[in-house]
Structure 1
Amino acid sequence: MGRYVTRSPEEKVKRAKFEFRGSCAKAPNEENIKLLLGEEWCRNDINITLLSNDSHAYNYLITKPKENKLVKTIIRVMLPVDPYFKTQAEVSTIEWVRQYTSLPVPRVLIFDPTGTTQIGLEWVVLECFQGQVLPVVAEVGEVNWAMVGNEKKRSLIRQFVSFYSATFDHQLSAIGNLYMGRATGVQEEDDKVGVIVSPEFYMKENQKYDHGRGPFRNSSEWLKTRLDMKHRDCLAIPNTNGVLKAEHIIDRLKRLRERLFDSTLFEPAVLTNYEIGPNSIMMNHNRLVGVVDWEHTSALPLWKGCELPKFLQGITRTKEPDERDYLDEEGEWLAGARDDFAKHVLQWSRTMLQKLFLDEMSRKCPQWTAIYNSPITRLRKDYDIAVSSCDNSATQAAIEKWLYTIESGLENIRLQDPGKARADISSLGFTVRSLQDRIYDSANVSDTARHPAAGPESHIWNLS
């Protein structure tokens, strides 16, 4: 069981922060981990192996003998980037997914959200899945779908369609993170949405600010808070050209927010995991055995949550590449064309799975598909990208061009019907080149093929 007593969340946070002994500068002590688990399981024959680590957590494989075989589990040791909330939210999310969906996720065996054990950090022990992750061609960042059987691909898509449909059917009441059930010790608080757990809210630069972390009633509140944080970051930096540009963009985004989002609504949200990539998916033969990586899974507005899973995202290629288009008149590969052809085949394979996913979603959950295909959804997703990237000098020029186009479109709509206070602006979602396309250059034209196999952007390709 988790190490908790029945206290209010506020009391737990104060206690955890007061007693927290961890340090971001030091890796967890493996001997202390073995000692802790040895006490928990009453044994001293535990082995520990580091699997991975990042700025948020260390992941270890734990093995212990049992009846002539090795039992494997995973322990995630959390660095103190967001004491209490990050661990509680991750455990809550996993339990919610187990309760409301059929997607296989690891069982939480034991956990500690206080950082007061001998490890000195928060930790979660999880079930370990036996399987292999999806094969990836690292050079192009694509799944090698040629190594995945057709039945495996169809089964994988069906299970994720079922998962996305289930999350859409169990919408939540606000934007934030889940704190429920065993993770909080207060059973009647199931499905409670609380403060958001997101790096942009708890990163070091923003910890000194007295900004709200939710839960947020609607998209407008959530985006306003994020813009305010960006503005405060700008004020803390000397007036460089990039900072001045960011401030100008922020001012324009604040005005545009009033046209794209209603600040008076109580807006539903959907559980959204952006980390379901190839390395998160564990397969055994033709069966999905587990999906891992559930940190930073928040309840987000429907326009944000109705999106392709990460392993299906990318440039769309709606025409199967023909090898002949990559050869010269003598039948030899054009310069660089061999690599392009291999990459484009992978993109086409993924595009066919995008189509399968969207076709299945339209049958199982047409409301999800309607939101995904909506032109206002496209505008709002572009706005979200602009908020996240407004202080990035590499993207500021693209954001400014996008804003100019949107603002010009709004002015044209106003002039066409000056008597209408709130004209429908959603049509701009299809008439204006998207910011996502401008930044990530998904125009999808081969540099080498004699007859390029071009396709529109991945998130609207099925509308062409």
Structure 2
Amino acid sequence: MAQPQYLPDSRTKWTWYGFSSYPVWPSDPDTSIINEIAASVLGMPADSLSVRFLDDGANHKVYDISQTNSSPTSVAYLFRVAVSIDPVYKIESEMATLEYLRQKTTIPVPRPIARNSSAANPLGYEWALLEKVPGVDLNDVWLKVPWEKKVDIVENIATYFAQIWSPDLRFSEIGSLYRATFVDHEHSTNTSPSATPAGPSPFSMMRADSAFKEGFKMGPVVDGAFFSDRRRYLESDRGPYTSCSDWIRAHIRVGKEYIRTGKLLIEDQQTMKKLEDADDGEVGIGLDKDDDADAILDTCDRYMRALPLVFPPPEPSKLAEARFVLQHRDLRAANIIVHPETFNITGIIDWENTCSVPEWEGMNYPLLIQEEDPFTPRPSESDVAALKEEGNMPEDRLDILGFQWSLWEKQDLREVFDRKLEQLGFSKDWLPNSPEDDLKSDFIAGVGELSDVWERLVLTDLIGRQQISTVNLRGILITLND
């Protein structure tokens, strides 16, 4: 019996690149339409603007919008086009998050100008227009940045993190930010995949200068665990959640549903024949014929039974406490924009999929300085000098030395980060790393891998490691196996 609702013909397709999956664009956005939209929003003649393709991310194509007769004071813009993986929610939440940060913090983020979170427009895609942050990716200049400027950069990031971790900016729910009226009036509580609300269409509703006057609220979580490849078409509860246990239960359920429906699709010969005939590298079902689906479903059940042991339901009196923090999920060098000469931070970008999460999940070093501790002696000053000059030693030696130096540098920068947080009022042991925190992190890492075709081997290792935590997740899962 066919199961078209789990793999509809109209779906956005996903394909593999390395060990990750990415959505497939049905077509390239039409730059002439982008020009018309930008001109209409900005109130400029279309021939006064120039549209240039700038970058291609996992979920967006980015275009530079500039004035053809620009001056040093002219404002440049970015036009971000989104492939349809999480209609309405993704763009609505990202633009609300940017405006929230602009209003509540000193973090330099792009200013939203306008958006359309419905693909029912002439472009055929959701889009957003933002002011362009001037500068270059820190990743492009990192090796040129002197140590004292790296210290400044890390101290500034610590200041930004201190703001979003402060008690004043915490939330009583786990979810994603939206404008208040979107949550109050446009978001349906139905968890059916067909319940996605229609996005705004008139330009007057899309302009940021009027859309965010009403304030912000937590709404459905924007997380690939609920929409990547065919997960978008499964029943799921996307919150917002008032407790960690509710949040993680939703993750386990959608992981189990992904495997359960994958098993049904594999058993459906008509579906399998259609996928085999297509042979276009699509992710498709996410489960192989040789996978033991029943064993994976059993592991899902074991995680569900272990859930209350690791995350006991909170006391009713604590449900309204503001104890969840916003988390930038990808703060690496490529998402930090700096002045090309002074190296001062001019912008922090890529806030898509930002959610409020528990401290043990959200409070950590930025990816920029996350790394394992050094395991070799610190390179000498002469070695570091040779590394910066390059060409003075064999390439293999250069690579090894560069890696060793990077580990030591990031450890030193983590100490800089710690000292700055302490100056800002955080305790010396601000990083959540108690045995209970480690267990929670291990548990949710395992939950995140339940339905991932590439990560199930990692999950097997995770359950098999004796030293996973002092409470021993392996022991919990084995005990609950019967």
- 1:264: which partner in 2? 314
Matched-pair contact (CA < 8 Å) for 1:88–1:179? yes
Cα RMSD (Å) of the superposition? 3.2
Stretch of structure 1 that moved more, 250-259 or 26-35: 250-259
**Distance across 2 between alignment mates of 1:59 and 1:73:** 10
Letter in 1 for 2:430: A
Alignment of 1:213-362 (within 5 A): 213-238=238-263, 240-241=290-291, 243-265=293-315, 266=319, 268-284=323-339, 285-317=342-374, 320-322=377-379, 336-362=396-422
Structure 1 residue 334: deviation in Å? 11
Write out per-residue CA displacement over residues 332-369 of structure 1, whole angstroms, 9 at most, x where no aligned residue.
x9995542222111111111101211232234242694
Alignment CA distance shift 1:110-1:368 (3 Å): farther
Task: For 2:379 and 2:443, locate their aligned partners in 1 and report how far apart those are by CA, in whole Å.
Answer: 37
**Other-structure match for 2:268:** none
> Which residue of 55, 62, 80 maps to 1:59?
62
- Rounded Cα–Cα distance in structure 1 between residues aligned with 2:146 and 2:249: 46
The answer to whether the aligner puts 1:160 opposite 2:217 as a matched pair is no
Q: 1:122 aligns with which of 121, 126, 145?
A: 126
Deviation per CA, 1:64-94: give whole Å up to 9, x if none.
1356456421011122222221111011100
Distance in 1 of aligned mates of 2:463 and 2:292: 12
* Alignment-derived partner of residue 389 in structure 1: 449
1:87-106 paired onto structure 2 within 5 Å: 87-106=91-110
> Structure 2 vs 1, CA of residues 379 and 411 (structure 1 numbering), >3 Å: closer, same or farther?
closer
Residue 148 of structure 2: aligned partner: 151
> Residue 176 of structure 1 aligns to which amino acid in structure 2?
G
Amino acid at match of 2:63: Y
For residues 246 and 286 of structure 1, what CA distance do their matches in structure 2 show?
Answer: 49
Query: CA shift at 1:197, angstroms?
Result: 0.9
Task: Decide whether aligned partners of structure 1 residues 404 and 231 sit closer, same or farther in structure 2, where only a CA change above 3 A counts.
Answer: farther
Corresponding position of 2:13: none
Contact in 2 for aligned 1:323/1:341 (Cα 8 Å): no
Q: CA deviation at 1:133?
A: 1.4
Out of 453, 462, 465, the residue aligned to residue 399 of structure 1 is 462
The CA distance in 2 between the partners of 1:113 and 1:132, in whole Å, is 28
CA-CA distance at 1:405 after TM superposition: 5.8
Unaligned runs of 5+ in 1: 1-22, 137-143, 327-332, 414-464
Residue 44 of structure 2: aligned partner:
42
Query: Would you say the 8 A contact 1:145–1:346 is kept in 2?
Result: no
Higher RCO (C-alpha 8 Å, min separation 6): 2
Q: Which residue of 1 aligns with 2:197?
A: none
**CA distance in 2 between partners of 1:196 and 1:95 (Å):** 18
Percent identity (aligned): 21
* Range with bigger deviation, 221-230 or 76-85: 76-85
CA separation in 2, counterparts of 1:321 and 1:334? 19
| 1:114–1:122 CA contact under 8 A, matched in 2 | yes
**Aligned 8 A contact 1:24 1:81 in 2:** no
Distance 1:246 1:339 in 2: 40
The superposition leaves residues 205-238 of structure 1 with CA deviations (integer Å, 9 ceiling, x where unpaired) of: 2223221110011111111111111111221234
Q: Is the 8 A contact 1:177 1:298 kept in 2?
A: yes
Q: Distance in 2 between matches of 1:382 and 1:189?
A: 39
The match for 2:87 among 83, 86, 108 is 83
In 1: Cα distance, 2:440 partner to 2:244 partner: 10
TM-score (norm 2): 0.71
SS state of the match for residue 62, structure 2? strand
1:394 partner SS: helix
Unaligned runs of 5+ in 2: 1-23, 181-206, 264-288, 384-392, 477-482
TM-superposed CA distance for 1:402, in Å, is 3.4
Is the CA contact (8 Å cut-off) linking 1:269 and 1:299 kept in structure 2? yes
Q: Is the 8 A contact 2:158 2:417 kept in 1?
A: yes
Q: Distance in 2 between matches of 1:68 and 1:163?
A: 32
**What amino acid is the match of 1:381?**
S
Matches within 5 A, 1:360-375: 360-366=420-426, 369-370=429-430, 372-375=432-435
Residues 362-410 of structure 1: CA deviation (Å, up to 9, x unaligned): 3424269435233322221111211112342331331221379659848
Q: Where does residue 445 of structure 1 map in the other structure? A: none
Question: What is the aligned residue count?
Answer: 378
Q: Letter of the aligned partner of 2:94 in structure 1?
A: E
Deviation by residue 1:410-429 (Cα, 9 ceiling, x = unmatched):
8999xxxxxxxxxxxxxxxx
Q: What SS does structure 2 have at the residue aligned with 1:237?
A: helix
Are the structure 2 counterparts of residues 234 and 365 from structure 1 closer, same or farther at C-alpha, using a change threshold of 3 Å? farther
**Which residue does 2:183 correspond to in 1?**
none
Asked if 2 retains the 8 angstrom alpha-carbon contact of 1:52 and 1:58, the reply is yes
Worse-superposed segment, 392-401 or 92-101:
392-401
TM-score by length of 1: 0.73
Does structure 1 retain, via aligned residues, the 8 Å contact 2:439–2:468?
A: no
Note if contact 1:242-1:393 (Cα within 8 Å) is conserved in structure 2: no
Query: Which residue matches 1:379?
Result: 439
Q: Which amino acid aligns with 2:354?
A: T
Residues in 2 aligned to 1:134 and 1:186: alpha-carbon distance in whole angstroms = 32
Change (3 A) 1:357 1:406: closer
Question: How many Å separate the matches in 2 of 1:354 and 1:54?
Answer: 28
Given that 1:55 and 1:79 are in contact with CA atoms closer than 8 Å, whether structure 2 keeps it comes out as no
With 173-182 and 400-409 compared, the bigger mean Cα shift is at 400-409
CA contact (8 A) 1:220 1:257 kept: yes
